[in-house]
Amino acid sequence: MTQNLAYYMIFIELFNLQKNNIMKKILSIPAILLVGLVSCNSGSNETTPGTDSTTMHTDSTVTTADTSHSTMNMTAVDELPAIPAGSKVFFKNLKNGQNVSSPVKVEMGATKISVDSANKIRPASGHFHLLIDAGDSTETGVVVPKDSTHLHFGNAQKETTVTLTPGKHRLALQFADGIHRSYGNKLASAITVNVKK
């Protein structure tokens, strides 16, 4: 009987909480967190103009770049596509040792290989990554990291603008397949620029 009374008291207390909307508020917290987690990593490749990029900030850079690593099926991954003979990537508007002013416009070029959007592995294609003071290339087959010094252009972008602090900076273009796996130094190009004060 005492146990039944305890259950009855708990039921009445829960009923009163719900009646006062406190229960609804308490239960809404996990729901809000779940929605937030799902929306932050929806895996959707649909974009609204002006929303397919993120501004990144570090001590040395501010840039706009695609940062989506949408859902990747890593259980059955194809081999890294072959690199067509004579393919290369290059900086179209910058030369090694060039003096520049910040913000720096970076134009990216590729020959004998298609620049395509990420998320699907296609033969003889890929997309750009810009490494800022992060080495000259990423090891072949390794997914290019996604952080403030490894900028992703998974929407087939061929230019960007980066804000760099005064001094020397090493910039490297790294081409990768549709799921961000690096083609290594065979499809990379690195230069040093000197940002004027």
CATH ID of 54-68+81-195, from 3.40.50.720, 3.40.50.450, 3.20.20.450, 2.60.40.10: 2.60.40.10
Span 94-99, average pLDDT: 98
- Give the list of residues 6+ apart from residue 61 with CB closer than 8 angstroms, or none: 132, 148, 149, 162, 163, 164
Please write the tens of the pLDDT for every residue from 36-62.
Answer: 443 444 343 433 333 333 333 333 444
pLDDT at 38: 39
Task: Report the chain's mean pLDDT, rounded to a whole number.
Answer: 77
Is pLDDT of 65 > 80?
A: no
Ordered by start, the domain boundaries in the chain are 2-37, 54-68+81-195
Helix axes 22-40, 2-19, angle to 10 degrees: 70
pLDDT of residue 177: 97
Tens of pLDDT, residue by residue over 173-185, are: 999 999 999 999 9
Contact 172, 137 (CB under 8 A): yes
Confidence band, pLDDT 50/70/90 cuts, at residue 197? confident
Cβ within 8 Å of residue 86, ≥6 positions away? 111, 112
Tell me the pTM: 0.64
